[in-house]
Structure formats: C-alpha cells, structure tokens
Amino acid sequence: MRARATDAHRAAVLGSPIAHSLSPVLHRAAYEALELTDWTYDRFEIDEAALPGFVAGLGGEWAGLSLTMPLKRAVIPLLDEISETAASVDAVNTLLFTEDGRRVGDNTDIPGMVAALREHGVEQVDSAAILGAGATASSALAALARVCSGEIVAYVRSAARADEMRQWGERLAVDVRVADWSAAADALRFPLVVATTPAGATDALAASVPERPATLFDVLYEPWPTELAARWSMFGGAVVSGLDLLVHQAVLQVEQMTGITPAPVEAMRKAGEHALASRQTVQP
C-alpha cells in the first residue's frame, strides 16, 4: 500500500565510516520521483557499540534503516525477526520497523546482485568464479546459488579464507572449489566472474583478460572503472558495476520501507551516476 504523502516518515543509513555513502542520494531520488514529500533519509556515523542505543531511541516515525559495515552482523541480536535470505549469510543490510513496533531484518544485497545480473542479460550460467573471500564474497556466493547451475571456483589469498569459503559453500549448499590467488587469471575465462576485492586488488589481472570475455561483475563503484573492468569492456565483455548493485539493493529497500512497488530504478541510477561524476570532478 502506498504511503500517504501527508505522513512524516524517516529512514537513514548507518555505518562507520559513512560520509561517502551514496544511499542518501539514491533514496532521496526515489522519494522525489514518487512525490513522497514528507519522507526524509539521512546518514549517521554509528559503530557497533553505539548501535543498540541508537536503535532503542528511535520513534514511531521511523520506517527503516540501511546498514553498512560494521553493522550488518552487529544488528542481528537487536531484531525480532530475520529473513531467510539474511540468515543464510548472517548479514542484515535492511532494518524495517513494523506498525506494531517489531524490528525485522533483511538482506537486499543478495537479490540486488541477482537483479543487477538479470538487467545485463545474465539469467543462468553453468559455472562461475569469485575473486576474493571477504565479507562480500558470502553474499556473492548466495547470489550465484540462484543463477549458477554448476561449479563455482573461489580464488583466495590464504588457507583461512579458503576454509571460510568452503564453510559458506556447505552452508549455502553450493558446489564451491577453492583455488589459490596465484591462479586468479584462470578465473577470467569463466562465463561469469564476480570480483569482490578492494580497490586495486585486481589491477594486475587486467593484462590477462581474454580476447572474448563473457561477464564481469565488479562490486566496486568508486573509483570507476577499475583497471580490470576497463580492460574487460575494451575487449567487448559485459560489465556489471558496483553502482548497479547499489541501485538494485536500494530499490528493494525503498519498496520495503515505503510499500510502493516498483521503485523508480532509473531515477535512482541517474542520481547515483551524477553524484559519482561530481565527486570525480572535485578530486585533485
């Protein structure tokens, strides 16, 4: 049901650090497009220690919260209910407040990844590769469980990370094989490659992009393009960006918080692109 424009509602993104979050840009663009004039969306610098007190102090005007690091697991003990999707990876990026005051946790990163892939024509692949094994890799693995019918190979830098990915594979019932990062160039020949690594980590792989690459999903959006993504596009491969993911996970949050479907995807994407372009303009 559509929220009434006369009702005041609040939402925000929490995390630490949070100053560069694009969530306010995306959500406010949605409110403007939907003519929700009394909806506001803010950002708050909140760490794990401050989270319980912050959430406890929120009033009935609050519709929901977007959560980024390091709060995606820290929020779980504060919830009355958690979705199966969020529970599958022990990560909540969306906190919804129900009319009866309950706190419900969800994860829109996973379906957001799937939606971003489908927008670029990737419905199903028979194998895939993941570069990295950090916090985002578990969500990537859960998303691949929905689009990959065969083996998934994760390229990692340490034995500890290898064990983590094997454990996630078992938990998510996904066929995962772990390979050493020294062989990461082999990943680039898979029909779908998901790069979950920090900025600069895949730069050395750009020289190994094959002549006819398939699809690269690089979860970074700033700086953009990464060297790997730029080389991939140069050779004619399809590239899904971190902004695509950010937009689609935010779309789902807007829909859940406001009750309005569909959220204005293109308005949110244009706002995100403009914000990123503005940041690049002012940087030395």
Asked if residue 191 lies in contact with residue 126, where contact means CB atoms within 8 angstroms, the answer is yes
Active-site hit among 72, 103, 231, 269: 72
Reference 44, options 29, 60, 30, 62; nearest CA is: 62
User: The tokens 């929220």 sit on which residue?
Assistant: 3
CA distance 26 to 75: 23
72 is catalytic: yes
Asked if residue 237 lies in contact with residue 259, where contact means CB atoms within 8 angstroms, the answer is no
List % helix, strand, coil for the chain (3-state, nearest 5): 45, 20, 35
CA distance 173 to 162: 16
Reference 88, options 167, 205, 181; nearest CA is: 167
The catalytic residue positions are: 72
